[in-house]
Structure 1
């Protein structure tokens, strides 16, 4: 994301002009824009004009509109953001208060105005505009006949390609057909890797599968690379890492990212940091339950005692339509940071974020035990 201009007053009112440069930037924009904000961007509008003879013609014109956002629709597959709302600035083609849908696209600037920019929104702008904060890990999750090519960024797990093929079973007298089917499958996966993984950016490619599928695929890929003198694969051979996974489906990524060897390899990425924090929370919940709690009520009580060491919170909570509740979460985050606590903001589109949402979307590891909170839980039950 490129920051063009930022004009925010001490009171928190103001506007920010941004240019999304990659698919993940659209996710950041989705988290930044709330209902009631005003967004200014160029758009195409169908305009009908009537001639002196009474015949009417319709033309599509490009114009700049400012709308007050009422509905927000994010398409995760196309990484496109659609905003619907009323026009709030004079325009020669669109009447005041007429409804229009703005589509935010990559490499097209937009201005976002808020009545109040809170610390979470401003932090999101900083993260989006700092390319070093994006993770750079890819994963090939596979089993015989099924493979998913995923990109693991700091905000989401994107499935870039899915290969689903029927491989003939290994039966007596039909071994050659099985081998041929497997070879074709591996070739399709290799082509998808070359097409969807940018080796200039990606630091680590995890090849995950049950059994020996990953080893066979890795061996096949580099045999072909040597035969065809594929310099791109040969130069990046050290980036590939073979890891066990229970299946070839996306949900197996969770266990892969918990593997100590994998965590060490990608420890400088945010994805690993989130997974590590969640692992610590589960471990604490099992071994010292009086130092691990989830749910807003308990965490607010722990914060009053300045007991929160690490807060784990889903970005989904900051997209809630209840302004009062959103402000409550922002206040909690600011207060924990002020008292020296660490805040981990999880993305609801990331595997770890999906897991955290099962625990109400907010959890905390405490500095010291608070058994009285456990007693409160028992009373509530």
Structure 2
């Protein structure tokens, strides 16, 4: 399961279709787009009528002239000329602005085609944002364990449960315990095999709770309980339709933020020369090629101050060019406020760099002075 999703590449039409699920994705797309690209997406447009005006939803293709990450919002705006739209509205040639925000799908067409390097950037962004998810559809009849891949669901294992009727309560409880213990072993083996980050137990009633209780050997796997009307493979698909994957995407991004924060604080405690924070210090380390992981709050990339925004954008591009892992903190969780207290930008370094003397507030705590 992927945050940034490359839905398809049509070499004949010179199109790529993507879905963005985080602000990291918007940043990748923002840096990928060029003037002259044709972006096709769902949008709305105000239409004048005899009685006034109204906004009408529609799908438009716009030949892009310029792009901007809009200040104060998680939105990429594409300004350009309409080249394709509903024929009855005769909009071709008129100006329009597409707003591409988190959760949107759209296509990008490049007339000269896509280079392998450009497609590689998208695939690399997809690879780096991969969350490995197992979904288990479970009820009193069957258990189905499935792995969520970018192209769909891969069935991993199945188990028949077939509990006796409720009038045989004692036998029912005994068989349930035996079957859930067996299912738990299968689930734990699948989690280890696929190195799962998240596990969803989906189904009706109490059986999914019984399975959760039977799971004893899980480590570093987030467990989600999801109501579904049935178990088995149908329960797996029902859980996906109910939006559990979207919740995992948000949680996964937050977990990544927390891990980076913990790594930063650990490095800082061990040797302050292994981290950098604040615009000037981070810029020095990026120029030296010392940055291994760069953290930036989304607020800086959407800053109303154009000079500041462009400076931060340039630093992020430089870091990416030197193969640093870039994470844009976009949540309003404690991690976001922690990074903001460090000036909104921080880095974990590949090797020690002597820090400048300045005062900051790591973690939002009492200010201290580096000597």
Q: Shorter-chain TM-score: what band?
A: 0.3 to 0.5
How high is the TM-score relative to the length of structure 1?
Answer: 0.45
